[in-house]
Amino acid sequence: MIAEIYKDKNIKFETNNFPKIVFDSFFIPILNNLPKSFQPGIKKTHKAADKIIETATSYNALEILYGHGKMYRSKNLLQAFFRWIWLTRNNAKAVRNRLMIVENELRKTVNNLIEKSENINLLSIASGSARAIVESFAQINVPESVDVSISFLDKSKEALEYSKKLAISLPNKFFTRWLEDTASNFPKYFHDENKPNIIEMVGLLDYFNDEKVQDIFKIIYDNMQTGGTFITANIVDNNERKFVTNVVGWKMIYREPEVIWELAKRAGFKEENIKIFFEPLKIHLVMIVKK
């Protein structure tokens, strides 16, 4: 089996109870059959829904999903109801599940390097808000003997500025830098002696065709340390896809694990070093691969 459900008893994933499954059995077909013209009506139901639609595909929309939309106050019970409706969609839950998996794998990888007294050189490609990095290190005790270098790379200046505010909680001893550039250009910021030993790139493959995924995988393989860890993810086809694409206006490229597996192998990663997991709702896959 190429992919399996990610399991960790310490993670409280968001799943669906029986009443929610029953509710979705008739509600999701309704959502999928809504016309694009229904979008303005959805935006009026709650500020969170409005902002998600307006900023779809950006770090802004993801931050709203991560925060369950609570940064926008519900003025009455009806708005609170609609916030619950939109922010408990399976796709919203799956995004938060993905975040928990990525953070858990980052902590495991960093702690493993600390145990071996190895320095940490982490690169986040298409870093967005950098939430996964910041929240991961908030739970890690890095000894003074271990040097930590973190590079946040994103083509959006706005995203980089936002991430700087989150990253203020990182220890002062960490070397941090923000790079405004495209994903494939990251090698120019690293030399042979300081190649990354952790590369995190989550949320970008959803917008790359297979050729571009193949190219970036090869660049990553060629420009990370031997023994380094690469963490990435991709959305998988699901029963809310039509609604998300046509009504929300969030267009993505959906892939099955077999496709990601093959693209990673073609880039040079060894088959035995590739691990692919589904989050519990099987809407996002996360790949952890070692060089």
Q: Per-residue pLDDT tens for 109-127?
A: 999 999 999 999 999 999 9
Please tell me the distance from the alpha carbon of residue 109 to that of residue 119, in angstroms, as a whole number.
12
* pLDDT value, residue 78: 96
* pLDDT value, residue 193: 82
Percent of the chain with pLDDT over 70: 100
Angle at 203 between CA 208 and CA 10, to 5 degrees: 145
For residues 6 and 280, the answer to whether their CB atoms sit within 8 Å is: yes
Q: H or E stretch including 20?
A: helix 18-32
* pLDDT value, residue 86: 97
Q: Which residues of the chain have pLDDT under 50?
A: none
* pLDDT value, residue 192: 83
CB-based burial, 63-75: b 16+ in 10 Å, e otherwise? bbbbebbeebebe
Is pTM, for the whole model, over 0.85?
A: yes
Each residue's pLDDT tens digit, 246-288: 999 999 999 999 999 999 999 999 999 999 999 999 999 999 9
Mean of per-residue pLDDT scores for the chain:
97
Chosen CATH of 94-290 out of 3.40.50.720, 3.40.50.150, 3.30.70.20, 1.20.150.20: 3.40.50.150
For every residue of 260-290, DSSP letters joined together read HHHHHHHHT--GGGEEEEE-TTSSEEEEEEE
* pLDDT value, residue 283: 98
Torsion of CA 40, 67, 275, 235, to 10 degrees: 0
